[in-house]
Chain A
């Protein structure tokens, strides 16, 4: 079942009548059976969107469709969704079994059948030996799985996860995100999850939707969005270490950073004057005759590669990182580089739209 958001808008009003547009005419289509990451910085409207899909928030404007059905005016219990809250919201006074069975009891499913469904679900998420414990006796990762089991046990049409990994430590996070991917594949359920962690979103999503200011910035497969960002925001938001941004100028078909001409491309002829240049950290090739001279303050060894903490007079940030293979002989203080053209993006200085 596809999920379609059409013209979705949510305006919050505070007590003084000031308006905040959390979600602003948001349109998107979430295809059936896919795992979709809603990605964006805090305050970009991604959680608001999720809660509107869940039915816990009412849209100010716009419609939500599950398949062909308009569910905008349905209450959460009638939408057939499973929701995993950021801090799980497990009922503290119930055992794991009672927590998972709770939705089934509400749907008046026969007790014996509910018991079997609960145990099957517990086995699927790998917590069947913890069924008689209380949530307080479980670790964060186990609570997370109970929450997923509770959301999935009633066989919802959509699974929604709100920052599902944010309460877990780094190691557990890796493990749990694989787990979520596995459970999603096994059940084939359309899943939407919200995160501000681009690495998390990119690693498990079939598609990501990058949001900012309540608007969709770009949607697509993670690698495509990374390789072909629509605008400066998307380019900046995806990737660790983040992309390096520079003031640049276009003269004729040449792109300059400071005095150095780093690229030549015919498309640039349409855009003359000042632009913003973004270069991915891995987009530099050391070369003695390189166009761009970059000085660096120190070297971080990150195992396989070397990360140079660099600075440049035209950089928009005080420092940026570039990554080179550790086989490269690093000379002290500064080096010359050529720029890989597929790792270099040019953006309009005024609106951040991609030019090249």
Chain B
């Protein structure tokens, strides 16, 4: 009797979150998948043809702007995430080993986390401005002629695309460092000092202490940071808008998959929702597969 009453109460408490989740998560997810497979979804009338095929997927994989955003996303994921994780780890270890001013440095490194992405993006845009930017100013001191970092989208490698990607990666590196450093410092402070004393007595050189003791003992946190950062990086969007602006025509070369999906909401063509939905599902599947691989690998490599 009592058990049943409890059951009923539990469901009552779950009702509100379940209703909200259904409305804002499950329903859109389901509808997106449906749209992506539907053979002639009409976005103006929100009408399904209920004939299913892979046409939308074939369409986007034959559509160069999408392939470009896919490539950009992959570049962001595989450069900025490993790089920022390694840099954050080194900074955290360095911060953890100094005593004076540690709190102040910690605060400075944490600042990017609490500032607005778009605002910082605009600051980057100003820093890298062709005529008035600080970076070009400094480069000029060394005799390098002014470089166009932000605008124009001509050329590919070593052209302005390369420079734009460089600015974007630098921004992502800097912006994602803060949280990682914070997490790593917390983890480092949890490692018993005795392991380091033991390593000293065991004559371990500093690099070996780092690779054989610090990294393995921190590995659960490193895995956590890597998995969440990979997911976050796959969904990069606001950084691009912050630095390069929201005009698709000026940013198409540097945009990400999420940017492509957003763009499909704005165009006039009748099949844009189908393409956007297909792109969103592709992103979803990539993230799912990637996270599964991550979890599988970390199970073998992480020491809990």
Contact = CB atoms under 8 A, between A and B. Distances in A.
Interface in B229-269: none
Interface stretch (B75-83, B135-143, B144-152, B194-202): B194-202
Contact of B202 (A56, A87, A93, A106): A106
A54 B197 CA distance: 10
Interface in A43-76: 54-56, 75-76
B212 interface: yes
A337 interface: no
Given A85-B194, A103-B203, 13 more contacts: A55-B201, A56-B201, A75-B200, A76-B197, A77-B201, A91-B198, A91-B216, A92-B217, A93-B303, A102-B199, A102-B212, A106-B203, A154-B202
A83 interface: yes
Given A85-B194, A89-B192, A93-B217, A106 B303 contact: no
Interface residues of A, number: 23
Contacts of B200: 55-56, 75-77
B198 A77 contact: no
Contacts of B17: none
A81 B197 CA distance: 12
Nearest to A51: B197
A196 B217 CA distance: 32
B198 to A, nearest CB: 4
A82 interface: yes
B21 interface: no
9 contacts: A77-B200, A77-B203, A87-B194, A89-B192, A89-B194, A89-B197, A102-B199, A102-B212, A105-B208
Interface in A83-129: 83, 85, 87, 89, 91-93, 102-103, 105-107
A297 B213 CA distance: 58
B201 A83 contact: yes
Contacts of B203: 76-77, 103, 106-107, 154
B191 to A, nearest CB: 10
Nearest to A105: B208
Interface range, B side: 10 to 19
B204 to A, nearest CB: 5
Given A102-B212, A106-B208, A91 B195 contact: yes
Nearest to A160: B201
In the complex, the 6 A-B pairs of residues with the closest C-beta atoms, listed nearest first: A77-B203, A93-B303, A89-B194, A103-B202, A89-B198, A93-B216
B289 to A, nearest CB: 28
A89 B205 contact: no
Contacts of B204: 77, 102-103, 106
B133 to A, nearest CB: 46
Contacts of A82: 201
Interface string A181-220: 0000000000000000000000000000000000000000
B83 to A, nearest CB: 25
Contacts of A145: none
Nearest to B192: A89
A55 B202 CA distance: 12
A67 to B, nearest CB: 19
A64 B213 CA distance: 30
A10 interface: no
Given A89-B192, A91-B213, A106 B205 contact: yes
A280 interface: no
A342 B201 CA distance: 46
Contact of A76 (B201, B213, B216): B201
Interface in A211-258: none
A150 interface: yes
B103 to A, nearest CB: 14
Contacts of B216: 91, 93
